Every structure is written in C-alpha cells, then in structure tokens.
Amino acid sequence: MKFFDQIKKRFAKKQTKEAVSPRAPKIEKSAKDLATERGEPYVAMLSMEVDPENLHQGSFELDWNEKFVANLVRAGYQMRPDDTDNDIVDRWFQAVCRNVVLETWEQEQAMNPNRVVKTRNIGDGRSEVS
C-alpha cells in the first residue's frame, strides 16, 4: 500500500503544479458570461448572412442569456405552451425589425416632396388638415 500512496502523492503534486503553472493559458470570459455572472441581460448579433443571388434574403444569428429572455417575458412577450427561448427571442427580433421598417416608412412619408397637404377653414379660427 505504501507504493500506491507514494504514486498518488506524486500524481497529486504534479496536478497541483500544472494547475498553478504560470504558463497555463488564461481562459477569457465572454461578454455573455460576464453579463450572466452580474445578473444582467445579454443579447448580441453573432453574424449576418445575405444571399448574394437574392439580396432580399438573409439571416441573423443571435446569442442571449436567460436573464434577457426573462426580461422579455416580464415586458409582455407571451410564453406559449410549446415555446422555447428561441421562439420568444425570435418574436422580439421580428418586432424590432418591424419597428425599424415602420419608422423608416413614416420618415419617408413625412419627407415626401410630392405629398399634398390640404387645409380647410372650418370656422372659429380652426382648420382641418389632411
């Protein structure tokens, strides 16, 4: 038994030296890991691809943590019976994209030089604008 104990001791010392070796590579924590450790929501776009043959087609790859999904649910994104976190984040991302499109369209309409504005006096110092 002494021989086995000596081998265990030597192996334990070797492991300890390797674990604290200054040459051991440092493992960098990702932004997601850091946010998760701090209890903060995290979402990021990892990639975007566009079909070169059809520029109207593309995809986005998102990454998020559980805190972000919990915040979406608290903000009113409904969790349906068969939903996954991916489904909730997808609905959020669609809403963000929809809002960007609507805002752009509204700005274009407001800036349209061909827009006709009609004003009609309805009396008592009031006007109707259409």
pTM score? 0.63
Q: How far is the C-alpha of 79 from the C-alpha of 91, rounded, in Å?
A: 11
Residue 89 in domain: yes
Judge contact between 32 and 42, C-beta under 8 A.
Answer: yes
pLDDT in tens, 60-103: 999 999 999 999 999 999 888 899 999 999 999 999 999 999 99
The reported pLDDT for the residue numbered 76 is: 93
Q: What is the DSSP letter of 125?
A: T
The Cα–Cα gap between 77 and 23 comes to 48
CA distances from 18 to 5, 6, 14, 28, 88 (A): 20, 18, 6, 18, 44
47 within domain boundaries: yes
More confident residue, 45 or 17: 45
**Is 82 among the domain residues?**
yes
The whole domain housing 75 covers: 28-93
Q: What's the whole-number average pLDDT of the chain?
A: 84
Residue 51 is inside which H or E element, if any? strand 43-51
Domain count within the chain: 1
